A and B are shown apart, each in its own frame.
Chain A
Amino acid sequence: MKRLSSRTDIIFPIIGFLGLFLVISFMITLVLDIFLDGLSKLKDPSFYASYPSRFPDKSGILAAWVGTLLVMGGAIFWSLLIGIPAGIYLEEYASRKGIIGKIETIIELNINNLAAVPAIIYGLLALGIFVYRFNFGESILTAGLTLSLLMLPVIVVNTREAIRRIPRDIREGAYAVGATKWDTIRDHILPYSLGGILTGLIIAASRAIGETAPLITIGALTFIAFLPPSPFTSNFPFISGEKLWEVLLSPFTVLPIQIFNWVSRPQADFQINAAAAGFVLLVLTVLMNAIAYYFRQKVRRKYIW
């Protein structure tokens, strides 16, 4: 099978490769730029253990990374709480008949649309509802809820894809021996789709961890030189509900907000801090994406139906 070849078939791949080369150099330049700019701070251990300060050389990211951990914990909890059951419903229960079927179609379309709503709109929603209606204030709780809304569509879509890969026979087998739908989901569907759901969770979290705009919109404070109170006590049961609530309602800062705060200062020294914190955030994002990628490959190999 010999095909006619023309000059364009020799030239075009070269141009295409140059295009790819351009994109990859763009990315390498970006990573190198923030790494080199922030290197002097990245090497300094006290950068990771200090609060922000008026003095750039004394400033650190302690409050920011603790805040990021707490906010992300909340965001993951809320988004899983709604996202997994919603995904299971659409794949396993949806009947597509009658009035319920219409609602199901609306739910489906709605999730597709939510995925494309600009992130800052979720910030406005959170400002109007969580901050001023529920009076949660500019707190860790509000931030976690806000980011969970951004993660939700990704989690629902990935849950559905993971469930869809499980063959029909597994379900029929379970029903045949008398299992109810819920038994089947608990004993078969959830365990087999867990890998795929986790992959979706990590991808969603890697996007949410770098989100800045919605958190700025809720009015997140940028200068936080303290940590939230510890919810742990010395007596049994070692954790106090009241104090836990205090933690949830305490003000916070997160890595991306800290970076934005530093990058918008005129002093060049603060920009070194911004670069260093940006590199830390970038490393976290790369790690999460790499884990998700590895997970996905592993899950594909584990269950070959």
Chain B
Amino acid sequence: MSLFGNLGYKKLKNKIMLAVFFTAGFFTIFITIGIVYVLLKDTIEFFNIVSIKEFLTEKEWTPLFANQKFGIWPLVAGTFLIAGIAVIISVPLGLLIAVYLSEYAPHSVREIVKPIIEFLEAIPTVVYGYFTLLFVTPLLQKIVPDLEAFNSLAPGIVLGFMILPYTASMAEDAMKGVPQRIREASYALGGTKFRTAVSIVIPAAISGIIAGFILGASRAIGETMVVAVAAGMYPNLTLDPRVPVQTMTGYIVQVALGDLPFGSIEYLSIFAVGLALFIIAFVFNSIALWLRSKIREAY
């Protein structure tokens, strides 16, 4: 009898734990719902005051001046300018390192170098910010004439290194995933190592490599502290990398640093900018996830 009683208790406990575990899993969905709810609610309130048309067509962003204008483009331009510089630096360097590590380097070198490259992402971004403002910018000022103390070039270059864990390390993982027999076939036909890497391995791993590039770009777009410290706080619709700009993330930080009265137009505006940033990041990540699911189908 006690045996069965015990069994019933065990079964009940098992059911309770199932409910606990499921609740925890289900809770994670509420985080996304929370994000979307918070961003949408205040953005809608923001658009009750500022028209969507002004938001999308006005060429100036001056919410903190007496003459308030709310055109998102200067912030988008600043964001994409810096992320663009980062990608221009990071993609060739990352691809070079990925091919070297996957096709040429001895196993021992890979084992040492990969954790080091991955550590680039673990360095606190505020430390990168310090380094950009007080080391990289002064250094670049000796090379680039008219480079201002706050600019988009230096943060772009530093972010280029920062996203190497995506552009180099993920690309290398994708290349390592290409079966050895495909390489052997190329060698058997007289292909050199370099030829094999360029015309066999890279094309075979291309969706994984590009997924890494896109995730890296997405990381550069969402990065905050490096640009808040070193890019300046000046919304500027320009492609000139030598002058101060402001990114979407930089604007959110600038407003948050001041005393933002709850419900004011400045307070609401950071949620509108946040929603735009969230949508951009979501699109980039979805493309990257889709590309990565394609690799799994290939072999």
Of A86-94, A230-238, A239-247, which stretch is located at the interface? A86-94
Q: Known A17-B100, A118-B221, A212-B224; judge A123-B256 contact (CB<8 A).
A: yes
Decide: B124 and A117 in contact? CB cutoff 8 A.
no
Decide: B124 and A4 in contact? CB cutoff 8 A.
no
Q: Known A23-B93, A24-B116, A213-B253; judge A12-B27 contact (CB<8 A).
A: no
Decide: B119 and A20 in contact? CB cutoff 8 A.
no
Cβ contacts under 8 Å, B274 to chain A: 120-121, 124
Decide: B134 and A210 in contact? CB cutoff 8 A.
no
Decide: B35 and A181 in contact? CB cutoff 8 A.
no
Q: Is A281 interfacial (CB 8 A cutoff)?
A: yes
Of B48-56, B60-68, B187-195, B238-246, which stretch is located at the interface? B187-195
Cβ contacts under 8 Å, A182 to chain B: 13-14, 17-18
Identify the closest chain B residue to A222 (Cβ): B257
The answer, among B10, B18, B38, B127, for a CB contact under 8 Å with A34, is B127
Decide: A207 and B127 in contact? CB cutoff 8 A.
no
The SS class assigned to the A binding surface is helix
Decide: B133 and A263 in contact? CB cutoff 8 A.
yes
Q: Is B24 interfacial (CB 8 A cutoff)?
A: yes
Q: What is the CB-to-nearest-CB distance from A150 to chain B, in angstroms, rounded to a whole number?
A: 10
Decide: A16 and B96 in contact? CB cutoff 8 A.
yes
Decide: A114 and B164 in contact? CB cutoff 8 A.
no
Q: Is A206 interfacial (CB 8 A cutoff)?
A: yes
Contact mask B111-128 → A, CB, 8 Å, 1/0?
A: 001011101101111111
The answer, among B17, B22, B26, B127, for a CB contact under 8 Å with A210, is B127
Contact mask B127-143 → A, CB, 8 Å, 1/0?
A: 11111011100000000
Q: Is B203 interfacial (CB 8 A cutoff)?
A: no
Cβ contacts under 8 Å, A180 to chain B: 10-11, 13-14
Contact mask A78-104 → B, CB, 8 Å, 1/0?
A: 000111111011101100000000011
Q: Is B108 interfacial (CB 8 A cutoff)?
A: no
Decide: A110 and B29 in contact? CB cutoff 8 A.
yes
The answer, among A23, A82, A124, A293, for a CB contact under 8 Å with B117, is A23
Instruction: Give the number of residues in B that approach A within 8 Å (Cβ atoms).
Output: 88
Q: Is B31 interfacial (CB 8 A cutoff)?
A: yes
Q: Known A117-B278, A263-B130; judge A285-B17 contact (CB<8 A).
A: no
Q: Known A112-B289, A149-B31, A212-B124; judge A3-B192 contact (CB<8 A).
A: yes
Q: Is B295 interfacial (CB 8 A cutoff)?
A: no
Cβ contacts under 8 Å, A23 to chain B: 93, 97, 116-117, 120, 161, 164, 168
Q: Known A86-B21, A285-B123; judge A118-B96 contact (CB<8 A).
A: no
Decide: B125 and A13 in contact? CB cutoff 8 A.
no
Decide: B35 and A121 in contact? CB cutoff 8 A.
yes
Q: Is A6 interfacial (CB 8 A cutoff)?
A: yes
Q: Is A201 interfacial (CB 8 A cutoff)?
A: no
Decide: A128 and B32 in contact? CB cutoff 8 A.
no
Cβ contacts under 8 Å, A152 to chain B: 28, 31
Decide: B194 and A9 in contact? CB cutoff 8 A.
yes
Residues of B179-214 contacting chain A, CB below 8 A: 187, 190-195
Cβ contacts under 8 Å, B231 to chain A: none
- The interface size bin for chain A is 35 or more
Q: Is B25 interfacial (CB 8 A cutoff)?
A: yes
Decide: A6 and B41 in contact? CB cutoff 8 A.
no
Decide: A16 and B105 in contact? CB cutoff 8 A.
yes
Identify the closest chain B residue to A84 (Cβ): B24
The answer, among B10, B100, B130, B278, for a CB contact under 8 Å with A274, is B130
Inter-chain CA distance A283–B117, complex, in Å, is: 17
The answer, among B10, B27, B113, for a CB contact under 8 Å with A86, is B27
Cβ contacts under 8 Å, B270 to chain A: 124, 217
Cβ contacts under 8 Å, B223 to chain A: 118
Cβ contacts under 8 Å, A82 to chain B: 24, 27-28
Contact mask A198-216 → B, CB, 8 Å, 1/0?
A: 0000000011011111001
A-B contact pairs, 26 of them (CB 8 A): A27-B120, A33-B134, A82-B24, A82-B28, A86-B27, A86-B28, A110-B31, A113-B289, A114-B28, A116-B215, A116-B281, A116-B285, A118-B222, A121-B35, A121-B277, A124-B39, A124-B252, A180-B13, A183-B14, A206-B122, A210-B122, A212-B225, A218-B256, A219-B260, A260-B129, A263-B134
Closest A-B pairs by Cβ, 7 of them: A16-B100, A118-B222, A210-B124, A128-B38, A85-B24, A213-B224, A89-B21
Residues of chain A whose beta carbon lies under 8 Å from any beta carbon of chain B: 3-6, 8-9, 12-13, 15-17, 19-20, 22-24, 26-27, 29-30, 33-34, 37, 81-86, 88-90, 92-93, 103-104, 106-107, 110-114, 116-125, 127-129, 132, 149, 152, 156, 180-183, 185, 206-207, 209-213, 216-219, 256, 259-260, 263-264, 271, 274-275, 278, 281-282, 285-286, 289, 293
**19 additional contacts (CB under 8 A) given A20-B97, A118-B221:** A5-B193, A16-B99, A20-B100, A24-B116, A82-B27, A83-B24, A85-B21, A90-B25, A113-B286, A114-B31, A128-B38, A129-B38, A212-B225, A213-B224, A217-B256, A259-B127, A263-B126, A263-B229, A274-B130
